[in-house]
Amino acid sequence: MSSIGTGYDLSVTTFSPDGRVFQVEYAAKAVDNSGTVIGIKCKDGVVMGVEKLIASKMMLPGSNRRIHSVHRHAGMAVAGLAADGRQIVARAKAEATNYESTYGEPIPVKELTERVASYVHLCTLYWWLRPFGCGVILGGYDRDGPQLYMIEPSVATTSVFPHLLCALACTMTYVPDCFQLPRYFGAAIGKGKQAAKTEIEKLKLSEMTCREGVIEIAKIKRNRKSLAAYANYAHFESKKEEVSFEDLRSMGLSLS
């Protein structure tokens, strides 16, 4: 079979003769061509590192962020098209706010991930939509401890059909084990994901603290021009050889 998607890449609902959906593959390629995003789960929180590719020297420091706070206890790192990533972040923030206003408590990280995955997967079901050209690593800390998830444009990393969850939620009081999203000790997406995964596998994440995790991610990315790292308790930025910490207490986080 030909690997060229001519005639079969005009709609996300069109399969090629060998069973491929080219628009989803194009979206995955956009993620692979972006800066590397790393996430690791430590014993006391989650750390995320992002390689920010600076398109212009005229940009103000801190602009074009790839790491966002979704709620007081959760954050999200984006790889791929920045505009698509902002749309997913906005949806995640809306879901977190709606859940808290309805139930009076912060949204569980697993529930937040399932809702975001449903939203991303929705754009692969209808011909008038296109897949999001970005992947996200979502992490947070709730009553079940630190958790780390990854959502790709195809949502292939999930063991669930997210569009079914919306219908099942109306008739079920719990989600069975077969619909559980996979958790990660470490995850990486973007241009340098393979090299990053190799380095992550060498770490003893179950014994590592967030402070140590920030340093380890900085080591992995030390040859990059710009890096931003977000821990459940810390936000870390490095540009060239300068390192600084930002206080995120306004988001309900602290460095302690």
| CATH code of the domain in which 45 resides | 3.60.20.10
Report yes or no: 205 and 47 within 8 Å, Cβ to Cβ: no
Report how far residue 219's alpha carbon sits from residue 231's, in angstroms, rounded to the nearest whole number: 15
In a domain, 3, yes or no: no
**Number of independent structural domains in the chain:** 1
* pLDDT at site 228: 43
Residue 23 lies in a domain: no
From 232, 247, 256, 245, select the one nearest 73 (Cα to Cα): 232
Confidence at residue 158, expressed as pLDDT on a 0 to 100 scale: 46
Asked whether residue 6 is assigned to any structural domain, the reply reads: no
How far does Cα 66 stand from its chain's mean position? 10
CA distance 236 to 131: 31
Residue 14 falls inside a structural domain: no
Q: 169-175: long-range contacts (C-beta < 8 A, 24 or more apart)?
A: 175/114
C-alpha span between 239 and 232 (Å, rounded): 21
Sign of torsion over alpha carbons 242, 47, 190, 251: negative
Check residue 157 and give its pLDDT: 53
Higher-scoring residue by pLDDT: 229, 65: 65
Containing domain of residue 213, as a range?
A: 35-247
Tens-digit pLDDT profile for residues 106-162: 999 999 999 999 999 999 988 889 999 999 999 999 998 999 999 999 886 543 333
Give domain status of residue 172, yes or no: yes
Query: Is pTM beyond 0.75 here?
Result: yes
Domain membership of residue 171 (yes or no) is: yes
Residue 2 lies in a domain: no
DSSP 215: H
Nearest CA to 68 among 140, 118, 19, 147?
A: 140
The answer to whether position 256 is within a domain reads no
Name which of 60-64, 202-206, 248-252 the model is least confident about.
Answer: 248-252
User: Active-site residues: which are they?
Assistant: 36
